[in-house]
Amino acid sequence: MKRFLGFVKKEFLHIFRDYRTLFILFGIPAAQILIFGYAVSTDIKNAGVAFLDLSHDEVTQKLTDKIISSGFFKKTETLLNYNDIDKVFKKGKTKAVIIFEADFGKKLISEGKASLDIIADGSEPNTATLITNYTAAIVNDFTMSLAGSSLNNSVHISPEVKMFYNPELKSNFMFVPGVITLILILICALMTSVTITREKEFGTMEVLLVSPLRPVQIILGKVIPYFILSFINVLLILALSWLVFELPVKGSLILLLAECMLYILMSLSLGILISTVSKTMQQAIFISLIGLMLPTILLSGFIFPIENMPKIYDYISSILPPRYFIIIIKNIIIKGTGLFYIWKETLILIVMTLAFIGLSVRNFKIRLE
């Protein structure tokens, strides 16, 4: 019995001395409960809303204040005409536009009814549905309070809901861009993350060490085949999205392919970086899958809006490349925007790519020494 207890004690000591094992046992569960508890939310919070007030009376001002003060929405812009609706949606910060008809207050008092339009960004169907439901509930509550404070109990405001870009609210408009983003970063990073670690495990690193190739040439030589194959994969995914899910590319196809090539290069560079800091293939695979899959699904805006999350998760997601590529691909495919609306996200991906390549070369040089 003493031998058995001694053996158990030894195992405990081994576990406590290995920080990686402790991280798997306690760090990952703690991180998952925090991420799922705060990030996975179907509630609306701080959703961007713009207003087009054609009436400019006291009633529309009170209703606007009630919508903003509810805590679910934040005002992004005040529009001047209908032509501004498409522009404000393409900027990405506005999720819905509320339009008050002309003489809104007068019609409500004299006729007992008035109408307003709720136009939501249908590129995110779930968010659009929640926003329209929340707004309609606030309008209904305002109508009831207005009817209770007036002699006319038949006061009625009828919201008319419209969806921009995705009138039928097809879920494909949300999932296809997100799945493209997820597949590319996982496949590219995973495939390249095992390249250098495989050389170490198979004992072929010595061949590279004595070769006349420079570290940059070795890294590029490993990246180029995967780059070409991943680009073919992009063409296949886009073809399937069009033929099977009926998701056409509304914007420039050339711009879309260029952005995809940039994202592939960034993902491959990230995979190479992971491979240079990993000692084994299992370690590289673990970092690629656990470190990229969950953050991409939960913190990139793929399924759950980032504005609904606590501010700390906004900062965390800002270092995740998929967050920017999802914005890019949705703007090009669904909204048909050009480089003018996505240049910031493109620049961020370029900087990340150069940073990953630079770190990979530096780490590879250290290992060669």
Which residues on neighbouring strands pair with residue 51, listed in sequence order?
A: 78, 98
Residue 69: alpha-carbon gap to chain centroid: 27
Tell me how far CA of residue 114 lies from CA of 16, 119, 311, in angstroms: 68, 17, 38
Residue 55, pLDDT score:
85
- Mean pLDDT, the chain, whole residue set: 80
What amino acid is encoded at 334 in this protein?
I
Most confident of 103-112, 122-131, 206-215, 334-343: 334-343
The DSSP call for residue 335 is I
Q: What is the pLDDT of residues 43-77, one digit of tens each?
A: 677 888 999 988 888 888 888 888 888 888 888 88
Other C-beta atoms within 10 Å of 322: how many?
24
The third-level CATH classification (topology) of the domain covering 47-164 is: abc type-2 transporter like fold (3.40.1710)
Lowest-pLDDT choice from 45-49, 75-79, 122-126, 206-210: 206-210
Which token pair is 25? 């046992």
Contacting residues for 111 by C-beta, under 8 A, at least 6 apart: none
**C-beta neighbour count of 1 within 10 angstroms:** 5
- How far apart CA 185 and CA 323 sit, in angstroms, is 12
**Angle 332-336-342 (CA atoms, 0-180°, nearest 5)?**
50
Tally Cβ neighbours within 10 Å of residue 104.
22
Say what percent of the chain tops pLDDT 90: 11
Residue 92 is given by DSSP the state S
Instruction: Kindly indicate the confidence band of residue 151, based on its pLDDT and cuts at 50, 70 and 90.
Output: very low
pLDDT at 203: 65
Q: How far is CA 313 from CA 49, 141, 149, 302, 305, in A?
A: 22, 32, 43, 14, 11
Contact 188, 269 (CB under 8 A): no
Where do the domains of the chain lie? Answer: 2-39, 47-164, 172-368
CA distance 363 to 80: 54
Average pLDDT over residues 183-206: 75
Q: Give the closest residue to 261 by CA, choosing from 329, 213, 163.
A: 329
Residue 367 has pLDDT above 50, yes or no: no
Give the per-residue pLDDT at 354.
92
- The string of pLDDT tens digits covering residues 15-33 is 677 666 666 666 666 666 6
Name the β-bridge partners of 75: 49
